Amino acid sequence: MKKLFYLFLFISLTISCTQVKDIAYLQNPETGLTNISQGVFDAKIKPKDILSITVVSSEPEASRRYNLLMPQPQGMMGLTNQSTLQTYLVDNDGNINFPVFGTLQVKDLTTNELKTKISEKLAPFFTGEMPVVTIRIVNYTVNILGEVNRPGKYESTNERLTIFEGLALANDMTIYGKRNNVKVLRADPNGNVNIYTLDLNDKNVFNSPAFFLEQNDVVYVEPNQSRANSSKYGAAETFRISTMSVLISLATMAVTIFGITKITKYN
């Protein structure tokens, strides 16, 4: 009976370890702090980005000329006094056309760097309190596809999104997703696509250039072999194959157990 107990314990541990190995993130990490080599992440502005830029000050009339405002029509009777703030589309050369100042180069700047640049240009035109400049990247979205529970396009509200946060938005991977072979597709300004491979089982993923997702990234979770095999068959065939696999495993286990029992008995 003691040998039988140890056999069951061994089989249970083997099955358990196999399942964890297939689906667990960051296996066997060291405790304590892990430094990210690229430091604090700040998104860079890219061509084709859409920017929201507002200038607000205690002198409304002075700051109004630095905002892109479009009056809204009210039926057929004319215009209202309400205005809608317009956004800026970064052109292929990385420029925007800013009111009063004209063309501004914004490519590869962070929003904070662009804020400083615009504030310095505004300084000579305000005698009192300096205006507050607010800048957002409106199109900070990523597309998550493949073996996740909810594929789709997701938006970052704080212009910072890690690969784990992106997968969390997509309700995590399914059990069929390859944790060690996640692809991140990232287009550069020249139209080239860089493909990064992330191993989410390895803590070194924190130092990958694709650990922080950038605007318009595409994340693809590749299916594992079990999913690939099951795709060849319908639901009924898959159920029958799974059932047969379980029965074969049980039969093998029974033969092994009874064999050990007989050997113990004769000994």
- Per-residue pLDDT of the chain (267 residues), as tens digits, is 444 444 444 444 444 444 555 667 766 666 555 666 566 788 999 999 999 999 998 888 888 889 887 655 555 444 444 556 789 999 999 999 999 999 999 999 999 999 999 999 998 888 778 899 999 999 999 999 999 999 999 999 888 999 999 999 999 999 899 999 999 999 987 878 999 999 998 888 999 999 999 999 999 999 987 766 666 555 555 556 566 666 676 666 666 666 655 555 555
CA atoms within 13 A on the CB side of 140: 23
Whether the CB-CB separation of 83 and 145 falls below 8 Å is answered with: no
Looking up residue 155, the CATH number of its domain turns out to be 3.10.560.10
pTM: 0.70
What is the domain extent for residue 160? Answer: 140-227
- Name the residue type at position 158: N
Task: Please indicate, yes or no, whether residues 79 and 92 belong to a single structural domain of this protein.
Answer: yes
Q: For residue 53, list its beta bridge partners.
A: 135
Residues 133 and 144 in one domain: no
Among residues 107, 137, 167, the one where a domain terminates is 137
The verdict on residue 23 lying in a domain is no
Residues 119 and 194 occupy one common structural domain: no
Q: Is residue 12 a part of any domain in this protein?
A: yes
Amino acid 110 reads T
| Statement to judge: residues 121 and 168 lie in one domain | no
Domains: count for the chain = 3
- Identify whether residues 115 and 180 lie together within a single domain: no
Residue 205's φ and ψ, nearest 5 degrees, are: -60, -25
Residue showing tokens 């215009």: 79
Q: What is the DSSP letter of 80?
A: E
